[in-house]
Amino acid sequence: MSDAHIRIVNIKKNFGKVRVIEGVNCDIKESEFIVILGPSGCGKSTLLRIIAGLETATEGDILIGGNIVNQVEPKDRNIAMVFQNYALYPHMTVWNNMAYGLKVRKMPKAEIEIRVKKAADILGLDGLMQRTPRQLSGGQRQRVAMGRAIVRDPAVFLFDEPLSNLDAKLRVQMRLEIKKLHQAVRTTSIYVTHDQVEAMTLADRLIVMNAGHFDHVATPMEVYDRPATLFVAGFIGSPAMNIIPMELAGEGNAVKMPGGPWLPLAERLNNARDKTVMVGMRPENIALADNGPGVFQIPVDLVEVLGADTLVHGPLEREHMLTIRLPGSSQVNPGDKLNFQIRPERLHLFDRETGVRLN
């Protein structure tokens, strides 16, 4: 088994009487880039700290390279961690910040030179090596923090929301840097974020975490196209998926929109426990239509013109507001009444009580 293979086995974590991680499991393959995505307080950073050895699990095991590392000190786990706040030594130059950990390990000076030079080349830091952190921009500081991790040549990289302190333009730039870094070094990486754009663009596989549980573990497009739970459906996607309670036909082959038509389903639904199911519709999957079966009408309340896209908002009955994504060239105005249709295979159905996907 590779030294970079990680197994998370039934990890639980309590803080006093409060359980913040509810027994999660995952196998992370060598060279894989895993992103743990979830809202604040769901337990994702705590799990990362358990993998790093900075927190102790209440139950369960962390295995790296087939070896249980629960009792192994962080410095002996062959990992490198990149934090949100950079954690650079303010009085040291970039070169010394990157070299310091290797000096502490009493690595030969020639080897240190080679490793620091290689990391600087990968990250484009060549002209900054004699500056101190206060002479660097936020993006440059984050690159130095990544360089300090790279020189260690670890088996595993751990990233704890490393781009949260950067402005929007820098976040995009640094996201590309991290993607290129992983393509260059192919080190097993676990990246924690609450930003779904980071998650979708960086991940080989995505773990969507909710209240201490893994709700869905799959590739980004699998998570987007077939969310496993109601939480995942509402959390992934911008603008968010429209989610509306609808009545299921007695045969299980259609659902009724509130105040609207029956919408046919792509397959008969036999596993619903209730006559009412939660139906999800992505804004980009709802299309303008002529009159016909399954067509519903929306009065337009608000139009957002975004350039490439136009977002249309309107009520479906009084209590349900729909958001629909149309091409940017669409000529739509508040007060218009528009007909829409959605293909049966684009409907997402969930159990109203458990939130589990039904179709």
Q: What is the separation, in whole angstroms, between the first and last Cα of the chain?
A: 37
Q: What is the DSSP letter of 53?
A: T
Q: What is the pLDDT of residue 169?
A: 85
Verify that 123 and 87 share a domain, yes or no. yes
3-state secondary structure (DSSP) of residue 12: strand
Read out DSSP for 243-303?
EEEEEEPTTSSEEE-TTSPEEEPSS-----SSSEEEEEE-GGGEEE--SSTT-EEEE--EE
Regarding whether 244 and 119 lie in a shared domain, the answer is: no
Q: Determine the pLDDT at residue 184.
A: 87
User: Which of 289, 303, 230 is closest to 260 using CA atoms?
Assistant: 289
Report the 10 Å Cβ neighbour count for 180.
Answer: 13
* Residue 231 parent element (H or E): helix 230-235
> What would the 3-class secondary structure string for 100-163 be?
HHHHHCCCCHHHHHHHHHHHHHHHCCHHHCCCCHHHCCHHHHHHHHHHHHHCCCCCEEEEECCC
Tokens linked to 98: 């990157």
Q: Are residues 159 and 50 in the same domain?
A: yes
- Provide the β-strand partners of residue 322: 314
Q: In what order do the strands lie in the sheet with 156-160?
A: 79-82, 156-160, 188-193, 33-37, 205-210, 213-218
Residue 233 to residue 78: CA distance in whole angstroms: 36
| Same domain, yes or no: 289 and 164 | no
> Is 358 inside a domain boundary?
no
| Domain range for 260 | 239-351
Q: What is the pTM of this model?
A: 0.91
The domain boundary, picked from 198, 230, 262, lies at 230
What is the rounded CA–CA span in Å between residue 316 and residue 297? Answer: 8
Q: State the Cα–Cα distance between residues 193 and 214, nearest whole angstrom.
A: 14
Last residue of a domain, one of 179, 201, 230: 230
Count the Cβ atoms, other than its own, within 10 Å of residue 197.
12
Residue reference for tokens 């060239």: 329
Query: Is residue 200 one of the residues assigned to a domain?
Result: yes
Does residue 162 sit within a domain? yes
Domain presence at residue 340: yes
Residues 246 and 168 in one domain: no
In CATH, what number is assigned to the domain containing residue 246? 2.40.50.140
Where is the domain boundary, 230, 264, 292?
230
Clarify whether residues 78 and 192 are in a common domain. yes
Tally of domains within the chain? 2
In-domain check, residue 305 = yes
Q: What is the CATH number of the domain that holds 168?
A: 3.40.50.300
Tell me, yes or no, whether 247 and 188 share the same domain.
no
Running along the chain, 359 residues long, what does each successive block of 10 average in pLDDT?
Answer: 81 95 96 96 96 96 94 92 87 94 92 93 90 91 90 92 86 88 91 94 97 97 97 95 93 89 91 90 94 88 94 90 94 94 95 94
Residue 359 lies in a domain: no
Q: Are residues 170 and 221 located together in one domain of the fold?
A: yes
My answer on whether 118 and 62 are in the same domain is: yes
Tell me the two tokens of residue 48. Answer: 């990362």
Residue 96 three-state SS: helix
Residue 140 within a domain: yes
332 inside domain: yes
Q: Which long-range contacts (CB under 8 A, 24 or more apart) does 315-321 make?
A: 316/244, 316/257, 316/258, 316/259, 316/260, 317/258, 317/259, 319/258, 320/244, 320/258
Q: For residue 274, how far is the Cα from the chain centroid?
A: 31
Predicted local confidence at residue 1, as pLDDT: 36
Task: Please choose, from the candidates 4, 161, 153, the residue with its C-alpha nearest in 3D space to the C-alpha of residue 69.
Answer: 4
Q: Are residues 146 and 251 in the same domain?
A: no
**Residues 268, 171 within the same domain:** no
Residues 226, 250 within the same domain: no
